[in-house]
Structures are given as structure tokens and as C-alpha cells.
Amino acid sequence: MSLRIFTPACKMFWLGTALLISLVEIFPFDNLHVRPAFFYSYEFLKAAAFVGLGFEVPLVFWRFNSLNRGLAISLLSAAAIEEIQMFVMGHRLNIFELVLKGILIMVGFTLGLLRRHDEQLSLLGIHVRLIADRHDND
């Protein structure tokens, strides 16, 4: 099995992930009226989405091929999401959240960069070969 990377379809998938995270972050979650198991599952999935967003960057944009660029995109992405949240009533800038989001995105970026270098993804015994399509203009 194989997957072409650096394609317009990959970019749309990344954009969809970024928009989903932004929507989840913009709309407040009322944790007072849900069971703890649901709340912590929600928080885990949100954290996994940030890791996923970072993971996709080196597989979508061929220019992001070093940790320095990964750190920059991680911090810019986290800052953009925190800035969007400032427009939500009752939310204020939280440096701890900003740093945590940046770390989660950077962890994902690092994992994605490793997969890009190995040119394959593998999960639960399923191996997907990554095929680079560098003919587009980022």
C-alpha cells in the first residue's frame, strides 16, 4: 500500500484538521454537566488532534524538513489558536495552554518528520509506503 505526500489532497486534509481544531477550541465546553470519563476522553482526543496536526505538516509541505521549521510552525499554530480563542467570551490568554499546545504540535511534527525520513508509516502491522510528489509549488 502507498500514499502520495505533498499533494493538494494532503493539504486539504491538513487544512480540515486545522479547522476542526479551531472550531473545537472556539466553542466552549461545559464540563460541569458531563461525566468525568466523557470529559477526559474529550480532552485526550483534543490533545491527539494537536499531535496529529503537527504530524501532518512534514508530510504535507515539503519545505518543512527540519526541526527548526517545525518549532516555528508549532509555535505559530498554537499562537494562532490561542489568538482565535481570545474572541470567545470568558476566555483569556493562557501561557500554559499556549506552551502545551506548542509542545503537542512539535511532538507530532517530530514523529511526522521521522516517518517522512523512513518513507513509510506503520501501525498495527499495516505498512504504508510514502511516495513524495515534489512537483507542486508550496
Q: What is the mean pLDDT of the chain?
A: 81
Helix 8-26 to helix 36-60 angle (10° resolution) is 150
pLDDT tens figures, 6-33: 888 888 988 888 888 888 877 767 777 8
* Spatial distance between the Cα atoms of 1 and 86, rounded to a whole number of angstroms: 43
Q: What whole-number percentage of the chain has pLDDT above 90? A: 9
Please tell me the pTM assigned to this model.
0.81
Task: Say how many C-beta atoms besides its own lie within 10 A of residue 92's C-beta.
Answer: 8
